[in-house]
């Protein structure tokens, strides 16, 4: 298992036998709809770990880190992951396991937006977000804006 970009999450297996590989000369622009939450509040949700895998897989395939532009639009059941540690601990009685992952994703250049509509619908205070996360009008406006800017859309 290797972790070329996100060191603590999203380990992948080297696949030197693969004939279809990412193009290291391309600029990859990806916007990801993160909606699926976790049933275990003690572990980072799979959808966010999958973002780490995406970055690690492209790096393993030869794509330089600077050629990856990734944006997340977190909403629906996934929105509980975005709480700062104090608010997360008050809700789940454990430290927020997503915080180290958010930090590594941000250090890799990933922009992380949280849907205001999902937060307000769940009475989540926008001042209680994990460090570095930003609010968006909505997941819908974030997805349409970035798609029209030429980003490929994924849903996790």
CATH code of 55's domain: 3.40.1260.10
- In terms of residue numbers, what domain contains 96? 28-155
91, part of any domain: yes
Q: What is the pLDDT of residues 21-75, one digit of tens each?
A: 999 999 999 999 999 988 899 999 999 999 999 999 999 999 999 999 999 999 9
120, part of any domain: yes
21, part of any domain: no
Number of domains in the chain: 1
12, part of any domain: no
11, part of any domain: no
What pLDDT is recorded for position 38? 87
Residue indicated by tokens 């205001």: 116
| Other Cβ atoms within 10 Å of 114 Cβ, number | 27
19, part of any domain: no
Torsion of CA 7, 13, 19, 21, to 10 degrees: -20
For residue 25, what are the β-bridge partners? none
User: Which tokens go with 9?
Assistant: 């999450």
Q: How many CA atoms lie within 13 A of 28 on its CB side?
A: 24
Geometric angle at alpha carbon 130, from 79 and 7, rounded to 5°? 95
| Sequence-ordered list of residues with C-beta below 8 angstroms from that of 156, at least 6 positions apart, any chain | 32, 33, 34, 35, 36, 46, 47, 48, 50, 51
User: Which tokens go with 147?
Assistant: 């798609």
Q: What is the pLDDT of residues 122-153, one digit of tens each?
A: 999 999 999 999 999 999 999 999 999 999 99
Q: What is the pLDDT of residues 77-127, one digit of tens each?
A: 999 999 999 999 999 999 999 999 999 999 999 999 999 999 999 999 999
151, part of any domain: yes
| Sequence-ordered list of residues with C-beta below 8 angstroms from that of 147, at least 6 positions apart, any chain | 31, 153
9, part of any domain: no
User: Which tokens go with 137?
Assistant: 């009008």
């Amino acid at each position: 298992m290797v972790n070329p970009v996100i060191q603590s999450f999203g380990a992948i297996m080297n696949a030197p036998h693969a004939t279809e590989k990412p193009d290291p000369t391309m600029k990859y622009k990806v916007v990801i709809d993160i909606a699926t939450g976790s049933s275990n509040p003690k572990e980072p949700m799979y959808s966010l770990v999958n973002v780490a895998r995406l970055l690690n897989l492209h790096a393993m395939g030869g794509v330089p880190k600077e050629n990856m532009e990734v944006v997340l639009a977190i909403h629906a059941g996934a929105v509980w992951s975005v709480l700062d540690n104090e608010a997360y601990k008050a809700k789940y009685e454990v430290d927020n396991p997503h915080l180290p992952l958010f930090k590594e994703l941000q250090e890799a250049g990933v922009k992380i937006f949280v849907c205001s509509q999902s937060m307000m619908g769940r009475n989540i205070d926008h001042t209680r977000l994990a460090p570095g996360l930003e609010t968006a009008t909505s997941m819908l406006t974030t997805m349409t804006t970035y798609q029209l800017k030429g980003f490929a859309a994924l849903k996790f």
